[in-house]
Structure 1
Amino acid sequence: MQLFTDLAEFERVTAGKPRWARAAQAIRAAPARREGVMHSIGDSLTYLRTRRRHETGHFTGRRRYVEVIAAGEAPVRLEIAAKAELVGRTEYSDLSDREQLAGSGQELTLRPGEIVVVEIDEAVRYPEPAAEPCTVLHVSVEGTTFPNK
């Protein structure tokens, strides 16, 4: 897990890496997007503004995409755990790039403007819907993208 206090810190730390430049672009664009509608930038990043997470109750882990959560105007509660410390609830699906896991992890409340990157060896769960929309991005792990045709 990597936690950033704001978009400026995120951009400073990830400077020079195209996938993170696209992530910053998505975070900046998200407030103008309609809630609940998925958008993409290139073939390696999807994002949406949402307050309700369908995975509530179990942790969700990914293998091909890291999950980036950017708090909007309100705090966002979530819980992050190492997958190795959790128990599988469902098998990994290559189609959805998801696996459901059970257990407990580190509780975290993102303050407005904060950004967290959940790595592929970690899983995240949202104990409750957010009061205001946050931005959730799925950014491909390097080496798993297809070249543009």
Structure 2
Amino acid sequence: MIILDNLTQFKEVYRDGRKWNRCIEAIENLEKLKDGVMYSIGDSLVYMIEDGVAKNTSDFIANRRYFDIHYYLEGGESVEIAHKDALHIKQAYQDETDREFLLGQGQSQKLCKGQVAVFDNNKAYRFHGDSRVRKVVLKVTVEDGYFLNK
């Protein structure tokens, strides 16, 4: 997981490439979004605003085809991160959901208002659901702007 202090830093680090530009486009469109509704830009990005307390689960979640970016608008939350290799498979990867569920222990990190977290695919994460948070969740394809199987 890469944690950036603010959106300006995200824009500086991830300024090149269509998928990164689409992330910025999505974030800059926030005033027009309804909470809990999934939106898309092209075939490489889906995003939505989540508001509330995350479910506290025992399972880590990992992805392969998409990675997540969370931009924190209000509040904060704790997330536990671990390398997938250090965890045990509970439910094998399913291509339809782009998820696998894993068990084990990781290291906790507190994320808060203004920060941008990039969850890379060699790690798994689980949220602890310890407080209310409002954030934009972006799911970005690992391919460069398109799906290889189309």
Q: Who is 2:129 aligned against?
A: 128
Give unmatched runs, 5+ long, in structure 1.
none
Q: Who is 1:24 aligned against?
A: 24
TM-score (normalised: structure 1): 0.89
Determine which structure has the larger strand proportion and give its number: 2
Matched, 1:70 2:71: yes
Matched, 1:92 2:93: yes
Where does 1:109-128 land on structure 2 (aligned, <5 Å)?
Answer: 109-128=110-129
- The answer (yes or no) to whether the contact 2:56–2:129 under 8 Å persists in 1 is no
Q: How many aligned positions are there?
A: 148
Deviations 1:46-94 (A, max 9, x none): 1111135457331110000011111111112211111111111101000
CA distance 1:57–1:24, change in 2 (3 Å) = farther
CA distance 1:144–1:41, change in 2 (3 Å) = closer
TM-score (normalised: structure 2): 0.88
Q: Counterpart of 2:113 in 1: which secondary structure?
A: coil
- The answer (yes or no) to whether the contact 1:64–1:144 under 8 Å persists in 2 is no
CA distance 1:146–1:139, change in 2 (3 Å) = same
Deviation of 1:30 (Å): 3.2
Percent identity of equivalent pairs:
34
Runs of 4 or more consecutive aligned structure 1 residues displaced over 6 Å after TM superposition: none
Q: Who is 1:14 aligned against?
A: 14
Deviation of 1:129 (Å): 6.2
- Which letter maps to 2:74? E
